[in-house]
Structure 1
Amino acid sequence: MRGWQETIIGAWLLLAAMGTTGLPMTCSAEETIIQSIRIIGLERTRERVVLRQLPFAAGDVWREDFAETGERWLRNLGLFSEVHITPPDASGVVVVQVHERWSLWILPQLSRRDNGASSAGLALDEYNLWGLNHHLRLAYKKDTGKNFSSINGTSYEAGYDWARILDSKLSLHLSVGRGKSIFDSYNAGLLVAEYLQHRNQLAVLFDYALGPVPGEGWGISLGYALDHLRYQLLSGPAQPDVLPSRRHQILAGINYRQIDDRITWISGTAFDYQLSIAHSTLGSTLNVYRQTGSLRAYLPLFGHNTLNLRLNAGVATGDVLRDGLFDLGNRNGIRGYFPGEVQTKSYALGTIEGRFLLRPDSNVQWVAFSDVGYLPNGRLAVKQKRWFIGAGTGLRWTLRWLVRGTLRADAAYGLVTRRWRFYLGTGQAF
């Protein structure tokens, strides 16, 4: 009996020693330790951009969902046209293979309205500056009078987005703008006065990801903005709500993303809420409070075709001047209407849009859509209506090799104005 007791005590001491020294008590045959990560295909992007976007690191135990999750998170960066993650081999090496997209845009910008008012400009966007997924934007615009016949004002803007400062979950967005541009004042959708607007603006915004990586799960934002405006009347009677102002604003927001961006199609859900507060205690000449919210759902139908739903709302209260109104008539708002036709202090907007690839492997989409907007007070909108409906169709041509390389053409009919509107641009409406 004593010998058996000594054997049992010895076994317990051995097990205890193994536990305290970190030696494995058991080893599952299915567990694989990631020894290293090998990245193939990088040309301009730094390895750290890929490594910080993965759900695993060297030393972790491999899980079956790592490959799918890692591929989705890397695709959502927008920098790669192809992403493949291979599970660990016999040596524990995980291979991440990517194909980079060209990240530099130089895009001419032209616009013309029904009354002939036109503008021309040029924008430069680099979406992978320093190979760190930083975004630099430089742009200028000239208001070129009626049918590009003169130069009435020139404005400049610049922006810089620093993604994941020091590889953290914190990102910085900085934007500045300065210059002169034409400001049209509308009443019930009709142009009543034209001003030359002088503007200086600066905004600093920080985003922090509450999820595992930015753009996945919940996030919050906080910032500050300065916007100084003054006006010179060019034509028409002076308007009582077109006044010089200083807006010093606190910016805050919350957002949610659960998206899978496949370049030519997208699935998932997204939500945004933004609040800006301009108050005299901040040095502002106006007390204005603006809130906007947006809920979007991208639902797979069959193949790579999707049904896309959007519900937006906004409200502005306080000292709301003409330049502080929501202007919903545009290619990303209520299509079928032009700027100035659907202006309001509060609104609700819903969209249903079908996106259909011409072939399963095509990079061209046919799009059919309908936008419906409701204004609690339609006094400022065309024909002083409260309900606005626009419906139409369009095409999207996506260049897989180019970051944000979707070119867009839409034709939409506005039921209130009974007119067709045509839009050219880049990106989706939402």
Structure 2
Amino acid sequence: MTPSRHRLALLLLILWLWTSPGISVSAHGQGKPVNCERSAEQLTGRLELCQRYRVDQIEVEGLFRTRRYVVERELVFEEGDVATLAEIEESVQRLRNTGLFRTVAYDLVDQRLVAVVGEDLPQLGDGEHDGRLLRLSVDERWTLLPQTRFSRGGGVLHLILGLSDANLFGTYLQLGGYYERLGPANSFALWFRDPRFLGERLVLSADAGISNRVVALYARDGALEGGFLLERQFASLALEKEWRWWWRTGVGLGVVNDAFGYTLVSETMRSGQEHLGGLPDAQAALSLSVSSRWGRLNLDNYLVDGAQFSLRLGRYITVPELETQFTRLDATVLHFTTLPLKSTLALRMAVGLSDARAAHHAYFAGGLDAVRGFVNQRFRGNFYALTNAEFRIPSFDMRWIAVQHVFFVDGLGISDHAFEIFGLRAASAGVGLRFVSPKIYGFLARIDFAFQLEGGSGPSLSFGGGQFF
């Protein structure tokens, strides 16, 4: 197949996935919360969700580590309040979206059936139902996760030791860290996240550490033309506020201090870098960012449903000169639709724009996080457009283990010139497997086999932790 036919086939497949009838509504009925203030005509088929109940009592079954107030904080009502069925289902979905529970279910029990004989129940207003007992049933996930890796080859030792907990002491606080030894280079990182800062729907995130990674520079034809070791000291603080269920805004502040060397770099890479002019100059920078997200992704066990558009603008300023180093704008669309048989149609579309001059500040794309079937960092540029589409369907689904089969297609346009990103620079398609543990927070192993359609050859087999997107 010629390159032009590859581009046409990929474009037609992506358009079909995006516009196929019936995929905009989840098989589970998930979506935006019902607005019961609308007219009866606008609520056709969903009027039952606007029935009102007085929630006299709330019981939570299945808590092991998580504290009860963590559950109550996600509810949009309290004991004694009158709530619609839509508000109850929205509260249940918020609990699922924390990721702390494999499943969340609920029952509404008529209090008249359990009332003490002779005890009068309070009178209700017009359109309200008798009091109910809301019984929530949850299945907690295990969230304390160690991280270990040890390997030795080519005279280089690689060691990783880490530990993280997404539900620290049952409070929904998240804390983690790791230490990495790669040859003579040491790296470490610590991070903290409070998804309900000050008891509000406010996310506070902070991290700090030192990272060491080899930056490989490839020419457009795929030839290795240089590279170096980037040692980065970093610290950042971010805050994100949920204003509506469908809208969030955030701000971020960070500092980085970059140094460069040839440790762990091959002789071929080193000589090529010297030919390009040597190592970049060491530099410290301050990063400022603003972001916004529209839409919401709903979780149900290991399934994802919904759509979200995110936009982030970042500015990097040199220190102490306080001169603008470069500006970056990133936009991403995520769309997940749950279909019958617990299958999922997943789509990611992303665009990035930057005016960075230094090579290590450009966008890098390769097999790890962008387009499968190519070496990591194979493509780079100041502008990129990326599309990934997956169809996921499980063949085995139990409480502790589930297996998903995946069919995917990836497409990438990337260049130092904005309009060239609309040409297809790399594309691949293939199949994969996902090994999920629904009972363990964030545990997913991934194996993918890709066939290169455009952009040359590369390693077909890839694996890692977590979904590709």
Q: Pick from 70, 76, 87: which aligns with 1:66?
A: 87
What's the counterpart of residue 98 of structure 1? 138
What's the counterpart of residue 188 of structure 2? 156
Counterpart AA for 1:426? G
SS at match of 1:62: strand
- Give the whole-Å Cα distance in 2 for the aligned partners of 1:192 and 1:112: 27
Q: For the structure 1 residues 153 and 193, does the alpha-carbon distance in structure 2 shift closer, same or farther, using more than 3 Å as the test?
A: farther
Tell me by how many angstroms 1:353 deviates: 0.7
What's the counterpart of residue 107 of structure 1? 147
2:203 is aligned with 1:171: yes
2:255 is aligned with 1:226: yes
- Give the whole-Å Cα distance in 2 for the aligned partners of 1:424 and 1:376: 27
2:394 is aligned with 1:357: yes
Task: Map Cα deviations across residues 102-141 of structure 1 (whole Å, 9 max, x no partner).
Answer: 001212357999x999954233221111312121121222
- Give the whole-Å Cα distance in 2 for the aligned partners of 1:87 and 1:286: 58
Task: Map Cα deviations across residues 23-78 of structure 1 (whole Å, 9 max, x no partner).
Answer: xxxxxxx7532222222221211111111111221222132223432222111111
**Residue correspondence of structure 1 range 301-316 to structure 2 within 5 A:** 301-316=339-354
Tell me by how many angstroms 1:179 deviates: 5.0
What's the counterpart of residue 33 of structure 1? 54
Q: For the structure 1 residues 65 and 88, does the alpha-carbon distance in structure 2 shift closer, same or farther, using more than 3 Å as the test?
A: farther
What's the counterpart of residue 438 of structure 2? 400
Q: Pick from 89, 97, 116: which aligns with 1:76?
A: 97
Residue pair 1:226, 1:249 contacting (<8 A) in 2 also: yes
2:460 is aligned with 1:421: yes
TM-score for both structures, normalised by structure 1: 0.81
Pick which of 415-424 and 132-141 moved more: 415-424
**Residue correspondence of structure 1 range 184-195 to structure 2 within 5 A:** 184-188=216-220, 189-195=222-228
Q: For the structure 1 residues 180 and 374, does the alpha-carbon distance in structure 2 shift closer, same or farther, using more than 3 Å as the test?
A: closer
SS at match of 1:107: strand
Q: Pick from 263, 285, 289: which aligns with 1:251?
A: 289
What's the counterpart of residue 132 of structure 1? 171
Q: Which runs of 5+ in 1 are unaligned?
A: 1-29, 144-150
What's the counterpart of residue 363 of structure 2? 326
Tell me by how many angstroms 1:206 deviates: 0.5
Counterpart AA for 1:208? K
- Give the whole-Å Cα distance in 2 for the aligned partners of 1:58 and 1:279: 50
Counterpart AA for 2:405? W
- Give the whole-Å Cα distance in 1 for the aligned partners of 2:347 and 2:353: 21
- Give the whole-Å Cα distance in 2 for the aligned partners of 1:207 and 1:370: 32
SS at match of 1:49: helix
Tell me by how many angstroms 1:100 deviates: 0.8
Tell me by how many angstroms 1:386 deviates: 5.3
SS at match of 2:95: helix
Deviating beyond 6 angstroms after TM superposition, the runs of 4 or more aligned structure 1 residues are 110-113, 115-118
Tell me by how many angstroms 1:360 deviates: 6.7
Q: Pick from 419, 426, 429: which aligns with 1:388?
A: 426
SS at match of 1:87: strand
Task: Map Cα deviations across residues 168-187 of structure 1 (whole Å, 9 max, x no partner).
Answer: 12221101112544443444
What's the counterpart of residue 17 of structure 1? none
TM-score for both structures, normalised by structure 2: 0.75
Residue pair 2:315, 2:324 contacting (<8 A) in 1 also: no
- Give the whole-Å Cα distance in 1 for the aligned partners of 2:78 and 2:375: 50
Counterpart AA for 1:66? E
Percent of paired sites with the same residue: 23
Residue pair 1:165, 1:172 contacting (<8 A) in 2 also: yes
Tell me by how many angstroms 1:324 deviates: 0.6
- Give the whole-Å Cα distance in 1 for the aligned partners of 2:295 and 2:179: 32
Tell me by how many angstroms 1:93 deviates: 2.6
- Give the whole-Å Cα distance in 2 for the aligned partners of 1:80 and 1:190: 47
- Give the whole-Å Cα distance in 1 for the aligned partners of 2:365 and 2:155: 20
- Give the whole-Å Cα distance in 2 for the aligned partners of 1:422 and 1:135: 33
SS at match of 2:405: strand
Counterpart AA for 1:427? G
Give the number of aligned pairs: 384
- Give the whole-Å Cα distance in 2 for the aligned partners of 1:391 and 1:122: 34
- Give the whole-Å Cα distance in 1 for the aligned partners of 2:415 and 2:379: 12
What's the counterpart of residue 233 of structure 2? 200
Counterpart AA for 1:83? V
Q: For the structure 1 residues 116 and 407, does the alpha-carbon distance in structure 2 shift closer, same or farther, using more than 3 Å as the test?
A: farther
Task: Map Cα deviations across residues 334-361 of structure 1 (whole Å, 9 max, x no partner).
Answer: 1111222111111001111100111576
What's the counterpart of residue 53 of structure 1? 74
Residue pair 2:284, 2:319 contacting (<8 A) in 1 also: no
Q: Pick from 403, 413, 423: which aligns with 1:374?
A: 413
Residue pair 1:245, 1:286 contacting (<8 A) in 2 also: no
Residue pair 1:338, 1:421 contacting (<8 A) in 2 also: no
Residue pair 2:373, 2:462 contacting (<8 A) in 1 also: no
- Give the whole-Å Cα distance in 2 for the aligned partners of 1:109 and 1:284: 40
Q: For the structure 1 residues 378 and 31, does the alpha-carbon distance in structure 2 shift closer, same or farther, using more than 3 Å as the test?
A: closer
Pick which of 257-266 and 92-101 moved more: 257-266
Residue pair 1:154, 1:181 contacting (<8 A) in 2 also: no
Counterpart AA for 1:155? S
Task: Map Cα deviations across residues 218-243 of structure 1 (whole Å, 9 max, x no partner).
Answer: 11110111011111245324344732
Q: For the structure 1 residues 349 and 117, does the alpha-carbon distance in structure 2 shift closer, same or farther, using more than 3 Å as the test?
A: farther
Task: Map Cα deviations across residues 197-252 of structure 1 (whole Å, 9 max, x no partner).
Answer: 332111100111112xxxx4211110111011111245324344732121211011
Q: For the structure 1 residues 156 and 291, does the alpha-carbon distance in structure 2 shift closer, same or farther, using more than 3 Å as the test?
A: same
RMSD: 2.8
Q: For the structure 1 residues 323 and 117, does the alpha-carbon distance in structure 2 shift closer, same or farther, using more than 3 Å as the test?
A: farther
- Give the whole-Å Cα distance in 1 for the aligned partners of 2:424 and 2:417: 5
